[in-house]
Amino acid sequence: MSESKMVEGGCLCGAVRFSVTLPSKWCAHCHCSMCQREHGAGYVTWVGFETEHFRLLSGDDQLSWYESSPGARRGFCSTCGSSMLFESDRWAGETHVALACPDGPIARKPQAHAFYDSHVNWTPVDDALEIFNG
- Residues interacting with Zn ion, by CB under 5 A? 11, 13, 15, 30, 32, 35, 77, 79-80
Determine contact, residues 48/4, Cβ cutoff 8 Å. Answer: no
Comparison of 5 and 120: residue with beta carbon closer to Zn ion: 120
Judged by beta carbon, residue 1 or residue 118, the one nearer Zn ion is 118
What does each C-alpha distance from 110 to 23, 71, 107 come to in angstroms? 14, 25, 10
Between residues 12 and 22, which has the closer beta carbon with respect to Zn ion?
12
Q: Do the Cβ atoms of 84 and 11 come closer than 8 Å? A: yes
Q: Which helix (H) or strand (E) holds 72?
A: strand 72-77
